[in-house]
Chain A
């Protein structure tokens, strides 16, 4: 089946630095990618929807200047957490699909720890 590769799986960074997370669809072209975060003991929260070649659509309450999303190609979307702070420590996961009615495939997630 289709594979979505997310990298890195675990990152530790200093407060104030930026971290980039990559999400790649390995054997299909993803017209849409989604970015989620999950805090401990909570469910997934959708952060933004990313369509190839256009600006990401952010959910209410998500700072677009802090969480930069780029979907430059049909197989790659990146999430950059800029000037990370300890409260940004969370589990981030991406998903991808080909078309509106197509199946959703998930990456393996990235655990971000900001010191």
Chain B
């Protein structure tokens, strides 16, 4: 079955700590992968995306993610978090399923950064 798993439901870090949020997927074909962020009171924003090419993708605000095909993973990282990174983070998969599109979201990981 097609799915996206985010294992961490809530992560609490202090400022300047390093961040890694896990994302694993299950899909039998070619995938496009996304990380979205939702800041409190706002709608979704795209952090970064992977379609093809370099598996290490750099996004906005110092975030990066690495696509590891053999592990079916697309983990999000940031070397040093800030209080303003407090938000909910969603990993999503878009599969190239022929003419029928599908977008599958993980359940999200809430990140709380303590000042």
The answer on A and B forming one complex is: yes
A interface residue numbers (CB < 8 A to B): 1, 10, 34, 36, 38, 40-41, 43-44, 46, 49, 90-91, 93, 95, 100-101, 103-104, 106, 109, 111, 113
A44:B36 contact, CB within 8 angstroms = yes
- By CB atoms of chain A within 10 A, which of B49, B51, B105 has the most? B105
Contact B103 A104 (CB under 8 A): no
Query: 17 other contacts beyond A38-B103, A103-B108, A104-B44, with CB at 8 A cut-off?
Result: A1-B107, A34-B44, A41-B32, A43-B34, A43-B46, A44-B34, A44-B46, A44-B103, A46-B43, A49-B43, A90-B101, A93-B103, A101-B40, A103-B88, A104-B38, A104-B88, A106-B105
Complex contact A38–B101 (CB within 8 A): yes
What interface size band does chain B fall in? Answer: 20 to 34
Q: Mark B87-104, 1 if CB is under 8 A from A, else 0.
A: 010101010000111110
How distant is B11 from chain A, measured CB to nearest CB, in Å?
14
Q: Which residues of A contact B88 (CB under 8 A)?
A: 103-104
Main secondary structure of the interface of B (DSSP, over half): strand
Q: For the complex, would chain A's binding face be called helix, strand, loop or mixed by DSSP majority?
A: strand
- Tell whether, in the assembled complex, residue B103 and residue A113 are in contact, meaning their CB atoms are under 8 Å apart: no
Indicate the member of A43, A103, A109, A113 with the most B CB atoms within 10 Å: A43
Contact at A101–B41, with CB atoms within 8 Å?
Answer: yes
The smallest beta-carbon distance between B88 and chain A, in angstroms, is 6
Chain A proximity of B89: nearest CB distance (Å): 11
The chain B residue sitting closest to A59, CB to CB, is B43
A36 CA / B36 CA spacing, docked (Å): 13
